[in-house]
Structure 1
């Protein structure tokens, strides 16, 4: 009887109740996970698609509505008092070029409104319907957003370094809050989406090439 008890104790001490290190560490009220790694990743990807869909819907409204308004009224927005004009006047505290009809800003915002706005809604639809055009369009729009934002930061930086021009008020909230923080979303998120689409496209081509090779060897 004592041998059986000792054997049971030995087995329980050698076999941890959970897979976490150090082996035997006490985890109070531990309940083992019921989902496999693949299932957890699949759920994560589903949530990521929801986030991406919402991102492009948001982009569509901002590009078409807010930036579209600026593109239409860039020449006289300083004299307007509509709500959207007031929003641009507030943002212009961080970049006065929006009130002086700067050529670069007008061109960039017009391209963004005309092309990236409608295509953002199209991408959201493609994600929801699992359309095969999702990743080609996502790559185009995300790269366009990224390129436009890099140029936006770049032109301001060069103007400051070369000519000493400052378009933002000195308060931290305007430069770091409006100019840096708000625009950084269109650097970080599009970059992640470009990488994601490149991986998915590469994997799709690899699968097609693999199937073609398999057919040739039959």
Structure 2
């Protein structure tokens, strides 16, 4: 997701100057999303900055976590928490400034844009990281409790 979809946004917003002035399949996909949030069409500096972190930081971290998962290395849980916090922070920094200024770039007058594009599609980036953090917490805490129990015996 980060590499292909958000990477395409980043490419269009830096080399193509903006989604709105670009052409192609990914430009059309992002143009559709800009109907709900216009910042994505004009290469808003805050959004582009967050996507630089997501693509250049999040993508390598995702690949690293996948390699740990393949090896069944429990250290993956630490990195899952790190990535999940980054996802939550990125979502917060994408939308909180917009909410604080009265949401001038968000089109909430259309049910599709509000409930599908803005709420559903962005909730995925909240629900999944929270779920992964709870799962990793259970693994980390369970391991520490088991180690403490062995040490105490």
Give the TM-score normalised by the residue count of structure 2: 0.88
1:107 to 35, 39, 49: 49
Give the length in aligned residue pairs. Answer: 150
Deviation at 1:170, TM superposition (A): 2.3
- Tell me how large the CA RMSD over aligned residues is: 1.7
Check the 8 A contact 1:93/1:169 in 2, yes or no. no
The residue that corresponds to 2:95 in the other structure is 153
Q: In the aligned structure 2, how far is the partner of 1:167 from the partner of 1:184?
A: 15
Cα separation, 1, equivalents of 2:47 and 2:120: 18
CA contact (8 A) 2:39 2:105 kept: no
Cα distance, 1:123 vs structure 2:
1.9
Q: Please, what TM-score do these two structures have when normalized by structure 1?
A: 0.63
1:121 paired with 2:37, answer: no
Report SS of the residue matched to 2:20. helix
1:174-189 mapped onto 2 (5 Å cutoff) = 174-189=113-128
**Unmatched runs of 5 consecutive residues or more in structure 1:** 1-61
**Residue 132 (structure 1) aligned with residue 98 (structure 2):** no
User: 2:49, 2:31 → 1: CA distance?
Assistant: 18
Runs of 4+ in 1 over 4 A off after TM superposition: none
Secondary structure at the counterpart of residue 76 of structure 1:
coil
Q: Match for residue 38 of structure 2?
A: 96
2:39 & 2:95 partners in 1: Cα distance?
A: 13
Kindly indicate whether structure 1 or structure 2 has the higher relative contact order, using CA contacts under 8 Å at least 6 residues apart. 2
